[in-house]
Amino acid sequence: MPSPIFLSRPPPNFSPLAIVRGFQLFFVGAYRSLQNPDIFRTEHYRKALKMLGYSLGIQLLIWSPILVLKWFLHLSKLAFTGQDARFTINDALGSLRFIQNHVLNLGPFVIAGMRYFRPEIDEIFLRSLQHADQTYAKKHPELKNPPQYYMPLVTYKEQARAYGTGKGGRPWWSFMSGKSSSGNDFSSFLSRMATRTAFTLAMYLIKDVPVLGSLSINSASFYSFNQVVGTPAAAAVFGLGLMVPKKWLLVFLSAFWGSRSLVRELLIPYFKRIPFTTTDRQHWLAAREGVIFGFGAGFFLLLRIPYVGLLTYGVAEASAAYLITKISDPPPHPSQFMPWSEREVAWTFNDSDLMGDGPSKQAHAAAAAAASSKPAGVPGVPGAFKPSSSSKPAHPQLPPRPPAYHRQNSL
């Protein structure tokens, strides 16, 4: 008998081991990305300094209203005496900092939006992916055909995306109007961020309302977690929310949503080349939900460091390239995309795979060679991960994938 629509089983790929593995990949990916020799070239130093300048400007833009208000309140405090006035001013400043850092999330929001205006961030992903391929080939000279990610990925046509800063005779307001027009990637990004920010702000405004505030925040947490981690974990978060201060629960929800959203933004260079449909992309992400959350949580916390947030975002983008080499198979030739995508979106993780005890990349390369000798469309080719049944969704809340002949994979 099927479960009610509001009940769901925990997805197999959102487990403590998966989250730990994702957090481990956060450290290893950052370390490996900093080992890339391209970073020490002159052009990348120039871009790094430019990104540091952008980061300083962003932080100044974000914090200047708080600083101005702080000075104004301290000046106005001279007109008041007593301990109550001092406490009132400190409380107001503390509330403003909390709204800025944990409700509006202005820092990560502005930094993530920069990728739609500067092509350097996508270039960091591709160069890091190329470096990962070269490093693996050097470490395993015994392999005649080591798995490659960079060259197969660039054979796919990139979806059109315009970059620029409004220069070259084009007014900045015309440029921004085109960027925010409907159907644009940037407009979709703004819509997602505005929806999440409005929801979090509404929860913050009603958190102190008796009964209503407590029920609303806990119900929102249950709904959010039930979609991702299943009913048992969502019920545990709901019960925990009844015992902790509402501010802590808002911080946790903001970090949870922000971490998942961050990784989806970091993987844009991959998804804009791999011609997955929207449903396929949802299944791909759901099959790797735990690893993605653990990976994104580390960088989401680092993005909150003032003044170096944009540089941190560059390291996160480079680390996302390393992440791709650990949670996916190398892209095939476009002619073999259909059977590859059937296996790719349906993968599940085993505990041995998550902790690094599963098949190595050497076995993966041998499996890929064996797969090339099979007819196109033969399921069950062994690899770094085990394929699950493609007839069932990878996540209990996702719809089943459409038949292959309904999918459009224009290259």
Report the pLDDT averaged over residues 127-134.
Answer: 91
Q: Is the pLDDT of residue 348 over 70?
A: no
Confidence of residue 182 (pLDDT cuts 50, 70, 90): very low
Least confident of 15-24, 224-233, 343-352: 343-352
pLDDT above 90 coverage of the chain, percent = 13
Nearest to 111 by CA among 222, 293, 258, 242: 258
Spatial contact of 322 and 132, defined as CB atoms under 8 Å apart = yes
Report which DSSP code applies to 267.
T
Amino acid 331: pLDDT: 92
Q: What is the pLDDT of residue 17?
A: 86
Tokens representing residue 305 in the block: 């460091």
Of the candidates 7, 96, 8, 135, the one whose C-alpha atom is nearest the C-alpha of residue 394 is 8
Beta strands at 386-387 and 347-348: parallel, antiparallel or unpaired: antiparallel
Regarding predicted confidence, which is higher, 132 or 387?
132
Sign of CA dihedral 224, 227, 228, 234: positive
CB count in 10 Å sphere of residue 78? 7
Which helix H or strand E contains 29, and what residues bound it? helix 16-34
Range in 31-35, 123-127, 183-187 with the lowest mean pLDDT: 183-187
Helix axes 83-98, 42-77, angle to 10 degrees: 150
Q: What is the mean pLDDT of residues 168-194?
A: 61
- Mean pLDDT over 64-92 rounds to 64
Instruction: Give how far Cα 246 sits from Cα of 104, 184, 193, 236, 250, Å.
Output: 16, 36, 22, 15, 6
**Interacting residues of 84 by C-beta distance below 8 A, sequence separation 6+:** none
Lowest mean per-residue pLDDT among 243-247, 321-325, 400-404: 400-404
Res 61: pLDDT: 74
Alpha carbons 339 and 343: distance in angstroms, whole number: 7
| pLDDT score of 83 | 52
CB 272 within 8 A of CB 2: no
pLDDT band at 39 (very low <50, low <70, confident <90, very high): low
How does pLDDT run across 258-305, given as a tens digit for each residue? 888 899 999 999 998 998 988 899 889 988 888 999 999 999 888 877
pLDDT of residue 149 exceeding 90, the answer is yes
> Average pLDDT of 372-394?
40
pLDDT at 47: 64
| Tokens 């481990």, located at residue | 24
What string of DSSP letters covers 157-208? PPPP-----S-SS--HHHHHHHHTSTT-HHHHHHHHHHHHHHHHHHHHHTTT
Determine the Cα–Cα distance for residues 162 and 168; give it in Å rounded to an integer: 14
Which of 85-89, 227-231, 291-295 has the least mean pLDDT? 85-89
Residue 390 — pLDDT band, cuts 50, 70, 90?
Answer: very low
pLDDT at site 392: 43
pLDDT at residue 371, rounded to an integer: 46
**What is the percent of the chain with per-residue pLDDT over 70, rounded to a whole number?**
63
Average pLDDT value for the chain: 72
Least Cα distance to 95 among 62, 70, 76 occurs for 70
| Lowest mean per-residue pLDDT among 17-21, 119-123, 273-277, 391-395 | 391-395
DSSP line for 226-240? HHHT-HHHHHHHHHH
| 162-177 per-position pLDDT tens digit | 444 444 444 444 544 5
- pLDDT at 345 exceeding the cut of 80: yes
